[in-house]
Amino acid sequence: MSEVQPDSPRQDGLLSQIAELSEQETRVHRLLVAAGQQLEERQGAVDASVAAAHGDGAGRPGETSEPRDGNTIGNSATAAPNTYEGLVERVRDLAAGVSPPGSVILVVSRGDPKLLEIQERTAWHFPRGDRGVYAGYYPATSAVAIAHLKELHGKGANYLVFPRTAFWWLDHYRELTDYLENGCRRAWRDDSCAIYELIAGQETDGRTSTSNWLAELILDGESHASNGSAGGHNGVKELP
């Protein structure tokens, strides 16, 4: 009895179709991710315009930012900038404020070099290519993003910054967000950016960190208030 030979041409055709469908799926995913970012950026511009029209960059009156360590600062200090240039400047100031000099900071962006100009710190794009520049594409999944983050953490990165224009990442890559919230320390979050310290499994109190000038300024203001001082720091005007 002769053996039945497999239909090689047909199998090759099926494998070729599967490969083509996989490539199409990857292209569609990238298009959807890019579209999501564009919508987020447009929404951010609309929100900034509305806030500017109402004279309130942060949104509702009395709104405060609430980092995980419990620190809060007033409305005028957390007002979201109304221009992209203002946003870049504030993100850089906040990244420098919550990290010690010499830190290596990852910034989620589409390769804008201005976001990396953080005083006395080294900043890298996230995602980062092999040559140290912006990778040029978004992670396909949260698992890929987490693996890349761990890789860069192993190379010395210790902070991850999401400017407002990248907040869509936190919704799109839900497992990445869970990893950051549960395995790292949220150093800062307001309408301008979210910053995480990449110390896996460690929860620290920002009020005791000597590098967190935001917390120190707030505590100083609280101390003056409790002593009945009419002057001194108020936790708002002296923020850069």
Residue 220 has pLDDT above 50, yes or no: no
Residue 1 in domain:
no
Is there a domain that residue 2 lies in?
no
* Rounded-to-integer distance, Cα 19 and Cα 33, Å: 21
| Angle between helical axes of 84-97 and 213-226 (0-180°, round to 10) | 80
Structure confidence by residue, pLDDT tens digits, 102-118: 999 999 999 999 999 99
User: Do the domain assignments include residue 121?
Assistant: yes
How remote is the C-alpha of 204 from its chain's centroid?
19
* The total number of structural domains that make up the chain: 1
What domain range includes position 144?
A: 8-240
pTM score of the predicted model: 0.57
In the structure, what pLDDT confidence band is assigned to residue 23 with cuts at 50, 70 and 90? Answer: confident
Q: Name the β-bridge partners of 194.
A: 162, 189
Is 105 within the bounds of a domain?
yes
**Is 72 contained in some domain?**
yes
Quick check: is 3 in a domain? no
State how far the Cα of 216 lies from the Cα of 2, in Å rounded to an integer: 84
Q: Taking Cα atoms as reference points, which of 98, 118, 97, 69 lies closest to residue 107?
A: 118
What pLDDT score does 58 carry? 36
